[in-house]
Amino acid sequence: MKNLARFKMKQRTKLKPETYEKALEYQRIGNRAARQAQEENHRLGLPNIFWRNGRIVYEMPNGEILVKEIPQNGKQ
Protein backbone atom coordinates (compact mmCIF):
# COMPACT_ATOMS: atom_id res chain seq x y z
CA MET A 1 0.00 0.00 0.00
CA LYS A 2 2.89 2.32 0.68
CA ASN A 3 3.94 2.26 -2.99
CA LEU A 4 0.44 3.14 -4.19
CA ALA A 5 0.53 6.46 -2.37
CA ARG A 6 2.88 7.92 -4.96
CA PHE A 7 0.41 7.19 -7.78
CA LYS A 8 -2.11 9.91 -7.14
CA MET A 9 -4.95 10.47 -9.54
CA LYS A 10 -4.63 13.71 -11.42
CA GLN A 11 -7.59 15.95 -10.97
CA ARG A 12 -9.06 17.31 -14.14
CA THR A 13 -9.30 21.03 -14.22
CA LYS A 14 -12.42 22.54 -15.64
CA LEU A 15 -11.80 24.50 -18.83
CA LYS A 16 -12.88 28.08 -19.09
CA PRO A 17 -15.79 28.92 -21.42
CA GLU A 18 -13.35 31.00 -23.50
CA THR A 19 -11.31 27.86 -24.16
CA TYR A 20 -14.38 26.05 -25.52
CA GLU A 21 -15.26 29.08 -27.64
CA LYS A 22 -11.75 29.13 -29.14
CA ALA A 23 -11.91 25.37 -29.83
CA LEU A 24 -15.23 25.82 -31.65
CA GLU A 25 -13.79 28.72 -33.64
CA TYR A 26 -10.79 26.60 -34.70
CA GLN A 27 -13.12 23.74 -35.65
CA ARG A 28 -15.22 26.09 -37.81
CA ILE A 29 -12.08 27.42 -39.49
CA GLY A 30 -10.87 23.87 -40.20
CA ASN A 31 -14.26 22.77 -41.52
CA ARG A 32 -14.46 25.81 -43.81
CA ALA A 33 -10.94 25.17 -45.16
CA ALA A 34 -11.76 21.50 -45.84
CA ARG A 35 -14.98 22.46 -47.64
CA GLN A 36 -13.14 25.02 -49.77
CA ALA A 37 -10.43 22.49 -50.65
CA GLN A 38 -13.08 19.94 -51.69
CA GLU A 39 -14.81 22.53 -53.88
CA GLU A 40 -11.49 23.49 -55.45
CA ASN A 41 -10.71 19.83 -56.18
CA HIS A 42 -14.02 19.49 -58.01
CA ARG A 43 -13.40 22.69 -60.02
CA LEU A 44 -10.00 21.32 -61.03
CA GLY A 45 -11.46 17.92 -61.94
CA LEU A 46 -9.76 16.14 -59.04
CA PRO A 47 -11.39 13.57 -56.76
CA ASN A 48 -11.82 14.08 -53.03
CA ILE A 49 -10.19 11.15 -51.29
CA PHE A 50 -10.97 10.14 -47.73
CA TRP A 51 -11.07 7.18 -45.38
CA ARG A 52 -14.37 5.66 -44.25
CA ASN A 53 -14.97 2.39 -42.41
CA GLY A 54 -11.55 0.98 -43.22
CA ARG A 55 -11.84 1.78 -46.93
CA ILE A 56 -10.45 4.46 -49.21
CA VAL A 57 -13.28 6.42 -50.80
CA TYR A 58 -12.87 8.48 -53.97
CA GLU A 59 -15.56 11.08 -54.58
CA MET A 60 -15.18 11.92 -58.25
CA PRO A 61 -16.02 15.40 -59.64
CA ASN A 62 -19.03 13.93 -61.48
CA GLY A 63 -20.46 12.65 -58.19
CA GLU A 64 -19.45 9.01 -58.72
CA ILE A 65 -18.19 7.26 -55.58
CA LEU A 66 -15.45 4.65 -55.87
CA VAL A 67 -14.50 2.51 -52.87
CA LYS A 68 -11.21 0.67 -52.58
CA GLU A 69 -10.70 -2.03 -50.00
CA ILE A 70 -7.47 -1.84 -48.04
CA PRO A 71 -5.40 -5.00 -48.59
CA GLN A 72 -4.63 -7.00 -45.47
CA ASN A 73 -1.05 -8.10 -44.79
CA GLY A 74 0.24 -6.45 -47.95
CA LYS A 75 -1.93 -8.59 -50.26
CA GLN A 76 -3.79 -6.90 -53.08
- pLDDT, tens digit, 9 for 90 and up, residues 9-63: 667 778 899 999 999 999 999 999 999 999 999 999 999 999 998 899 999 999 9
Number of domains in the chain: 1
Tell me, yes or no, whether 48 lies in a domain. Answer: yes
What average pLDDT does range 3-7 have in this prediction? 59
Tell me, yes or no, whether 7 lies in a domain. Answer: no
Rounded CA gap, 19 and 25, in Å?
10
Residue span of the structural domain in which 33 resides: 16-69
The strand ranges marked E within the chain are: 48-52, 55-59, 65-69
Tell me, yes or no, whether 53 lies in a domain. Answer: yes
Tell me, yes or no, whether 6 lies in a domain. Answer: no
What does pTM read for this prediction? 0.62
